Amino acid sequence: MIALDQHPSGRHFLQIPGPSPVPDRILHAIGRPTIDHRGPEFAVLGKRVLSGIQRVFQTRHPVVIYPASGTGAWEAALVNLMSPGDAVLMFETGHFASLWHRIAVRLGLQPEFLSVPGTDASTGLPWSWRRAAQPELIEARLREDRAHAIRAVCVVHSETSTGVISDIAPVRRAIDAAGHPALLLVDTISGLGCADYRHDEWGVDVAMGGSQKGLMLPPGISFNALSPKAIEASKSAKLPKAYWAWDEILEMNKGGYWSSTPNTNLLYGLAESIDMIFEQGLETVFARHQRWGEAVRGAVRAWGLPIQCADAAACSPLLTGVITPVGVDADALRKLIHERFDLSLGAGLGKVKGRMFRIGHLGDSNDLTLVAALAGVEMGLKLAGIALAGSGVQLAMDFFASHPQRAPLKAA
């Protein structure tokens, strides 16, 4: 057993898709002394993070910041918008969509799950966990709902359990084409800060974000990005809400404060994360993750293993799901890699448990740490007796060498 503060191999390789490795700059920012959250200095920090996070969501409208993990942001969105027994249409893209569905059930809503039907014969896995949300299915279901009973459409943008990204703009168009008044709720908890997300342009009513994935922070902050329509809807929604209620928080936020104690030190980290993102620019940050995704997918193809995302246009820039051959327990493989190389990989969750593992390529990473991570996986695959078609590490090295990163490696 390794003591938590003593990794024999130097820094642990945290290659899961969240929490992601936290840059030293952010860790140092978080280590500053905690200040009075009602004092004058705090308002400067509060206003800075509130306006900075709007730029990350690409919105002019308010973003609520909660001292909670992503799950809290799911619950917050539903309790602020819904009334008991409301129908919501959710798209089954994987484990996180399923957990959100379960929260809706627990809150007394009536969620309906839309799924891509069928099973992929070659892997035995459900197609719905290998594909993106399908706007045509959403539009067809909304057209049937002539009484407009469905209050919201809920889609996971970055499905972290599979490595599939769903296109959000066509979902908005599908709702509008059906002439349906449903609100659009989008979970971009893992994508925020590394996969392009445009709140206003895409017409999303509430988006959920989290700190410990694309934003490169430790766990402990989550977000609800709002639209004017969502704020209006929250005024007549009847589910009980107290801690999560937007109204009191938004009122206090006007002065840079919160109605209860915010997590000051994580907000220092958030301010630093936002600075780091805008020193490079959003476009550059997105391109960096796309490039890493391409390299890792190339490596997986070189090994001859299937990628969980079956739709080339929907592959995630922040993680890659790898399906293990039938009969190979992916959890045993992860355990072996962890024990031998001190490298953590993401587990297969829910319906794909034991059938796949996930490689995160987000947070404090670079070409060399990714090549090292791929080397750990490749050695583990060989130790587990899996026959590989070729070397993924070699492919990734060739890819990085022949595709230089366009942006400078370090801030000036």
- Point out which residues bind ligand PLP (CB under 6 A): 18, 69-71, 96, 156, 158, 160, 187, 189-190, 210, 219
* Nearest distance from C-beta of residue 177 to ligand PLP, angstroms: 26
SS3 117: coil
* Nearest distance from C-beta of residue 364 to ligand PLP, angstroms: 18
Cβ distance to ligand PLP smaller for residue 72 or 262: 72
Cβ distance to ligand PLP smaller for residue 86 or 187: 187
Cβ distance to ligand PLP smaller for residue 210 or 376: 210
Return d(Cα 12, Cα 25) in angstroms, integer: 18
Return d(Cα 67, Cα 80) in angstroms, integer: 17
* Nearest distance from C-beta of residue 1 to ligand PLP, angstroms: 25
Cβ distance to ligand PLP smaller for residue 162 or 290: 162
Return d(Cα 346, Cα 282) in angstroms, integer: 26
Return d(Cα 260, Cα 48) in angstroms, integer: 18
* Nearest distance from C-beta of residue 93 to ligand PLP, angstroms: 9
Cβ distance to ligand PLP smaller for residue 187 or 367: 187
CB 230 within 8 A of CB 206: yes
Cβ distance to ligand PLP smaller for residue 54 or 160: 160
Say if residue 13 is exposed, middle or buried (CB neighbours under 10 Å; 0-12, 13-18, 19+).
Answer: buried
Return d(Cα 354, Cα 153) in angstroms, integer: 31
* Nearest distance from C-beta of residue 190 to ligand PLP, angstroms: 4
Of 408, 161, 407, 107, residue with least CA distance to 283: 407
* Nearest distance from C-beta of residue 196 to ligand PLP, angstroms: 16
- Residue labelled with tokens 């690409």: 58
* Nearest distance from C-beta of residue 319 to ligand PLP, angstroms: 9
* Nearest distance from C-beta of residue 31 to ligand PLP, angstroms: 22
Cβ distance to ligand PLP smaller for residue 207 or 375: 207
Q: What backbone torsions phi and psi does residue 251 show, to the nearest 5 degrees?
A: -65, -45
Cβ distance to ligand PLP smaller for residue 187 or 196: 187
Cβ partners under 8 Å of residue 375, min gap 6:
393
Return d(Cα 295, Cα 286) in angstroms, integer: 15
CB 57 within 8 A of CB 199: yes
Question: Hey, which bits of 59-143 come out as E strands?
Answer: 63-66, 87-91, 110-114
In the 8-state DSSP scheme, what is residue 343? Answer: E
Tell me the sheet residues that pair with 319: 360
Give the residue at shortest CB distance from ligand PLP: 70
Q: Are strands 87-91 and 150-156 parallel, antiparallel or unpaired?
A: parallel
